[in-house]
Amino acid sequence: MYERILATVYISHLTESDWGKSILIMRKDGLAFARIYWFNDDNTTVYLDWLSVYETIRNCGVGTDLQEIREKIGKSMGAKYSCLWVKKDTWMREWYEKRGYEYWKEYKNEENAIWMQKAI
């Protein structure tokens, strides 16, 4: 299922104590990528961002593969929740809702965005 995905790349922030760590996952040809990150002071939640799939390869399951990989990484780390923010009235919000994500809270940095959460 994940043969389209090349590898995960570990990325550390300035120092481990800054706030946490992240993992970047990229497709072999570079046309799709996503990131999962977490905070050092909360081992119950992972955060997802940067899910990007090049337009010409959308609707082929690549985004779903990346999403499932990120959730499996979070679960393997012992996280109970996966969170992400999304713009309110977009197809992306519907896409995440189909994958079990629900409204969690308002996103303080942008008026037209919300946080969504899913138990993993």
Summarised one tens digit per residue, pLDDT across range 92-118 is 999 999 999 999 999 988 889 999 999
> How remote is the C-alpha of 37 from its chain's centroid?
8
Whole-number average pLDDT of the chain? 87
End-to-end CA separation in angstroms for the chain: 20
Domain ranges of the chain: 5-119
Supply the pLDDT for residue 69.
94
Supply the pLDDT for residue 5.
52
Distance CA 54, CA 60 (A): 11
Please give the sequence-ordered ranges of beta strands (E in DSSP) within the chain, or none if there are none.
Answer: 5-12, 20-27, 32-39, 45-53, 81-87, 102-106, 113-119
Superfamily designation of domain 5-119: Gcn5-related N-acetyltransferase (GNAT) (3.40.630.30)
- The letter for the amino acid at 119 is A
**pLDDT tens, 22-36?**
889 998 888 999 999
